Chains A and B, each alone.
Chain A
Amino acid sequence: MAAALLEQVINGAMTGSVYVLVALGMVLIYGVMHVLNFAHGVLFMLGGYLCHFFLTRLTGNYALAVLLTMAALAVVGAMLERGVFRPLQGNLRNQVIASLGLILALENLAVALWGPNALQIKVPATERLVALGELRFPLQHLLIIGVTAAVVAAMFVFLKWSKFGTALRATSQDRNAARVVGIPVERMDVASFALGTALAALGGALVGPLFLVFPQMGDAPMVKGLAGILLGGMGSVPGAVVGGLIIGIAESVSTLFLPTDYRDSVAFAIMVLILLARPRGLFGVRARGEP
């Protein structure tokens, strides 16, 4: 039982890490632009496909392919901000509709470019099995947890101590005040979108070798990532991290006690329970002007 519990916690930490990467990006974009980008899941999916492309067509090096994927999707994210979300600024409803439209467009683009069949990303180096006591995990599984932890740490340092990070935070706290002190808020919008999309791309590129790359691969991480954000507190970066991990670990551990069909219900039941106790989520704070 102890081994099974440990196994599920490690499994949950891996799925939770993936949710964290998606949630972090969504929270950054939401914080700065106050837009919930529902297309974040398909950007995650594009990360998987682009990583496959870069790995098989350009470079045989997985690490390099992941970095190229992040860079390429950062550019895509910046273009989406300029081309889709900025023209609709000030109209939340249209921005949400546009992000839903992007799901259809990008998902079908992937089908048109790569076909409907799932692709495999073969990385022999990370297929190696690592023994933890009597349990065995593919290296890639542990890599996802490790890389996410490193990215989260880097994000905290970046947001807390760098000048650029401070400017991002300032913009998310009060757009007008940020403009008054000379922060180019439009550039912050582009930056948040590029950064958020690169994080989603990292998620897709990390999950690809462990599972498969297919057009719907981003659906579940997007929904669960969103649940993590709500649970952690809308707009809170630590909240997104803790929320994503809680959802991931809770749904994995629940399968030891409940039929696996209840896994999704468990994730959302926990979200509802926490929101009942703390309506603004674990780390949520009342924003200026909110009741």
Chain B
Amino acid sequence: MLMRLVILLAACIAATAAAQDKVAVGIVTSLTGPMAPPGKFQMNGFNLAAEEINGAGGITVGGRKYMVDLKVYDTRANPAEGASAMQRLATVDKVPVVLGELHSGVAGAEAPVAQDYGVPLILTVPTGPNLTEQGNRFLFRVNASNDQLNLALVDFIQKQGWAPLSFIAWNNDAGRGGVNGMKKLLGDAKTGYVGYFNVGEVDFSSHVSNIRASNARAVMLFMDEEPGSLAIKQLRDAGLKTQLIGTLAMGSDRFLKRLDADRLAGMVQYNAFPPNADTPRIRSFSERYKKKFGEEAHGFAAQSYDGLMMAAAAMQKAGTVSDGKKLRDALAGLEHDGVIGRIRFDAKGQANPPVYVTQWCANGMRRILYPESLKADCGAG
């Protein structure tokens, strides 16, 4: 009798478990360390996507519903941590797909592991161009690479006639890669002073002197929010009126809060996602994001949101929540109308989303300057 009861009970538990099947999706990101601030935006995007997928009943595969369960690992901008997290996700957690990463160097360490175990890795933030040049069929990238960003930015800069162009850049893959890519497109004649700084450096005074001496028309700042705010403050405080050009980290209200409209006015930056653009998909995402997180939407969040949505779509299309190889093939042929635009991976796994250039207005709003077709005045960027 007791035995029967136990079996019945066990069956009941199994049945409820089946009604709430889960699919674990691997996430590699930075929760701590130097990349933790951008990591938060990335996680916001994943969390919002997971919540919306689950809120709509989960992913339907083979007539069963699966709730998305994010398995998050902190890779702390460290390639060794990244490779071991990737391996753990593939062998211990046995996830069908992994998304995320911020740091190109760490992504470079994770990609071969993804290939070895046949688990697709969808990058949503790293911009190192060579990542998608390794012939790795299991690597996909939702966001634009440095090559794509540079192409758009140089096109814009040349139309403005901003030469010579000086640089202050991170002394890492992102910074050096970015400078070299732009120099190649601009030509040496149009390149002024080039200065590199190490992650964690806060004093830009030597670059300021050199930029003043070089008579540059414009300065490109290849860095993220924290050093960016310091560099701009130090350039402006020293009395330089040079045109400033920033990365997508510098086109947000958060960035404005670090500085002030006076110091930012006139600065332009490339952007993968203008959160205030008058496009239905962007407006709707921005509203939902603001409601959940209480702040302005961020490009990293939008890219990561789209990445997880694509992974979910690929699982439905491939009809599997466990076979990484089938998922890979589904991803390769997928066409997705994302928040950042239409996403389709090319033969190398690289998507080609639109790249914007926005400019700070004197009143602390932003306007869209590029592409020409999407030009919009203050308040739209």
Q: Which residues does A use to contact B, with CB under 8 Å?
A: 1, 4, 7-8, 11, 15, 111, 115-118, 120, 129, 134-138, 211-212, 214, 216-217, 219-220, 252, 255-256, 259-261, 263
- Contact at A261–B226, with CB atoms within 8 Å? no
Instruction: Known contacts A7-B205, A255-B206, A255-B210; decide if A260 and B195 are in contact (CB<8 Å).
Output: yes
- Contact at A259–B200, with CB atoms within 8 Å? no
Cβ-neighbour of B37 out of A117, A138, A219, A220 (below 8 A): A117
Per the bound structure, the CA–CA distance linking A129 and B263 in Å amounts to 14
Per the bound structure, the CA–CA distance linking A262 and B207 in Å amounts to 13
Closest Cβ neighbor of B208 among chain A residues: A7
- Contact at A261–B202, with CB atoms within 8 Å? no
B258 proximal to A (CB < 8 A): yes
- Contact at A252–B226, with CB atoms within 8 Å? no
Inside 8 A of B37's CB, which chain A residues have their CB? 116-117
Minimum Cβ distance to chain B for residue A104 (Å): 13
Cβ-neighbour of A219 out of B200, B226, B230 (below 8 A): B200
Per the bound structure, the CA–CA distance linking A136 and B235 in Å amounts to 10
Minimum Cβ distance to chain A for residue B241 (Å): 12
Inside 8 A of A252's CB, which chain B residues have their CB? 205-206
B15 proximal to A (CB < 8 A): no
Inside 8 A of A261's CB, which chain B residues have their CB? 171, 196
Inside 8 A of B208's CB, which chain A residues have their CB? 7
Minimum Cβ distance to chain B for residue A135 (Å): 7
Inside 8 A of B226's CB, which chain A residues have their CB? 118, 212, 214
Cβ-neighbour of A263 out of B32, B33, B206, B239 (below 8 A): B206
Per the bound structure, the CA–CA distance linking A256 and B212 in Å amounts to 11
- Contact at B202–A136, with CB atoms within 8 Å? no
Closest Cβ neighbor of B199 among chain A residues: A216
Per the bound structure, the CA–CA distance linking A252 and B258 in Å amounts to 26
- Contact at B237–A129, with CB atoms within 8 Å? yes
Which B residues from 178 to 205 make CB contacts under 8 A with A?
Answer: 194-197, 200-203, 205
Most buried by A among B209, B230, B237, B238: B209
Per the bound structure, the CA–CA distance linking A137 and B236 in Å amounts to 10
Per the bound structure, the CA–CA distance linking A217 and B199 in Å amounts to 11
- Contact at B202–A211, with CB atoms within 8 Å? yes
Inside 8 A of B196's CB, which chain A residues have their CB? 259-261
Could you name 18 residue pairs across A and B whose Cβ atoms are closer than 8 Å? Answer: A1-B213, A4-B209, A4-B213, A11-B205, A115-B36, A116-B32, A116-B34, A117-B37, A136-B237, A138-B237, A211-B203, A212-B230, A214-B200, A216-B34, A219-B200, A255-B206, A255-B209, A255-B210
Minimum Cβ distance to chain A for residue B356 (Å): 26
Instruction: Known contacts A259-B196, A260-B195, A260-B196; decide if A11 and B206 are in contact (CB<8 Å).
Output: yes
- Contact at A7–B209, with CB atoms within 8 Å? yes
Closest Cβ neighbor of A117 among chain B residues: B37
Contact with A along B117-130 (1 / 0, CB 8 A): 00000000000000
Minimum Cβ distance to chain A for residue B218 (Å): 19
Contact with A along B8-46 (1 / 0, CB 8 A): 000000000000000000000000111011000000000
Closest Cβ neighbor of A217 among chain B residues: B202
Instruction: Known contacts A11-B206, A255-B209; decide if A117 and B201 are in contact (CB<8 Å).
Output: no
- Contact at B195–A136, with CB atoms within 8 Å? no
Per the bound structure, the CA–CA distance linking A252 and B213 in Å amounts to 15
Minimum Cβ distance to chain B for residue A178 (Å): 41
Closest Cβ neighbor of B201 among chain A residues: A220
- Contact at B210–A11, with CB atoms within 8 Å? no
- Contact at B32–A111, with CB atoms within 8 Å? yes
Closest Cβ neighbor of B240 among chain A residues: A136
Minimum Cβ distance to chain A for residue B183 (Å): 15
Minimum Cβ distance to chain A for residue B237 (Å): 6
Inside 8 A of A256's CB, which chain B residues have their CB? 206, 209-210
Per the bound structure, the CA–CA distance linking A263 and B171 in Å amounts to 13
Minimum Cβ distance to chain A for residue B337 (Å): 34
Minimum Cβ distance to chain A for residue B26 (Å): 22
Inside 8 A of B212's CB, which chain A residues have their CB? 4
Inside 8 A of A117's CB, which chain B residues have their CB? 36-37
Per the bound structure, the CA–CA distance linking A211 and B230 in Å amounts to 7
- Contact at B237–A15, with CB atoms within 8 Å? no
Minimum Cβ distance to chain A for residue B105 (Å): 18
Per the bound structure, the CA–CA distance linking A132 and B45 in Å amounts to 48
Which B residues from 84 to 108 make CB contacts under 8 A with A?
Answer: none
Per the bound structure, the CA–CA distance linking A219 and B202 in Å amounts to 12
Inside 8 A of A138's CB, which chain B residues have their CB? 237
Most buried by A among B205, B230, B237: B205
Give 10 closest A-B pairs by Cβ, nearest first: A255-B206, A211-B202, A116-B36, A11-B205, A260-B195, A4-B209, A216-B200, A136-B239, A118-B226, A261-B196
Most buried by A among B34, B195, B203: B203
Per the bound structure, the CA–CA distance linking A136 and B239 in Å amounts to 7
Further contacts, 19 of them, CB under 8 A, given A137-B237, A212-B226, A260-B207: A7-B205, A7-B208, A11-B209, A111-B32, A115-B36, A116-B34, A117-B37, A129-B237, A136-B237, A211-B203, A214-B200, A214-B226, A219-B200, A220-B201, A252-B206, A255-B210, A256-B209, A260-B196, A260-B210
Cβ-neighbour of A260 out of B32, B36, B197, B202 (below 8 A): B197
Per the bound structure, the CA–CA distance linking A171 and B205 in Å amounts to 41
Minimum Cβ distance to chain A for residue B103 (Å): 14
Inside 8 A of A1's CB, which chain B residues have their CB? 213
